Amino acid sequence: MNKQKSIALVAHDNRKKDLIEWVRFNKDKLRGHLITCTGTTGKLVEEELNRDTLGHPLLVKRMKSGPLGGDQQLGAMIAEGKIDIMVFFWDPMSMQPHDVDVKALLRLTVLYNVVTASNRATADFIISSHLFDEDYEVRLKDYSGYIQRTLE
């Protein structure tokens, strides 16, 4: 993981306001990194990051909306090693039409040892860690035994 991190920012509808407040508070730290978002969240994040910017707009890579495949697009990026950190403010109080996609996305973050925050407190600890601004060697579990297993 390089000093410049690739960060995925995702929020369910009822948590978008919380994520945008977090982005506003951490705007200066986020500016030096690559930001990827799903759907509407990406539009809101890009607007917030570029508010009061003097001619140096920050581009946010936007995927599809989560229910339309954005979660799977992020999952593919995780599997390809293209996401270092994911901040996903999900709504624990509402059933989502794509709950299985959300579960699969979170499973991939664990499988590929991606730093993941699902709430403000964890996101605050991550962005304030000295490791956020440094190179970091990610250690991945070796799954070759699983891949090379023989089935009877």
The catalytic residues are 71
Amino acid at 91: D
**Residue 93 burial by Cβ neighbours in a 10 Å radius (0-12, 13-18, 19+):** exposed
Q: Would you say how long the chain is, in residues? A: 152
DSSP for 73-98 reads: HHHHHHHTT--SEEEEE--TTS--TT
